[in-house]
Structure 1
Amino acid sequence: MISPSDRALAVELIREANQNGARLALACKELNISVRTYERWVAEGGIKEDQRPLAQRPETKNKLTQREREEILEVVKKEEFADLPPTQI
């Protein structure tokens, strides 16, 4: 993930190179990003921030319930399992 300040700098450098005659594809390639990525970043007139950290992700279907988690912790804390790795408990 690229920081907002690095993203802004990359956009600035690409715009400068493009205004000085460099092709957009070559300017993007120099910074190891695709033209499509650059276009997404500058869509709607500004520089978009990364939206991935803000995304709402559903819980996985195989996630343990709180009750299951507590039961597992009870078992692994028993004295008889103290010296065993999780794969052998």
Structure 2
Amino acid sequence: MLIEEAHENGARYSKACEVVGISHRTLQLWKQCGLKDRRKGSKKTVIRKIPQETRDEIISVCNEPRFRD
């Protein structure tokens, strides 16, 4: 990791974090909890989602020569 390399070469964590655009606290959380996605999103499936076969067919029709600019 770039920040660890900078720290091994004498830079402070806070300065290394500043250079890459994250807070020192963010680095601490990443080290403590790992890099897994901890967002709280919906786990449910969308029942009205277009099936992949239908989606592929729509894309195919849209890419036909008669619809190209």
Matches within 5 A, 1:47-58: 47-52=34-39, 55=40
Give, in angstroms, the shift of residue 50 of structure 1. 2.3
RMSD of aligned Cα (Å) = 1.6
Identity of aligned residues (%): 40
TM, length-normalised to structure 2: 0.54
Say how many residue pairs are matched: 42
The one of the two structures with greater contact order (alpha-carbon pairs below 8 A, sep at least 6) is 1
Unaligned runs of 5+ in 1: 1-11, 58-89
Paired position in structure 1 for 2:3 = 14
Gap runs ≥5 in structure 2: 43-69
Shift of 1:33: 0.3
Larger Rg: 1
Query: In the alignment, which residue of structure 1 is the partner of 2:29?
Result: 40
- Amino acid paired to 1:15: E
Letter in 2 for 1:34: S
| Consecutive aligned runs of 4 or more in structure 1 exceeding 6 Å deviation | none
TM-score normalised to structure 1 length: 0.42
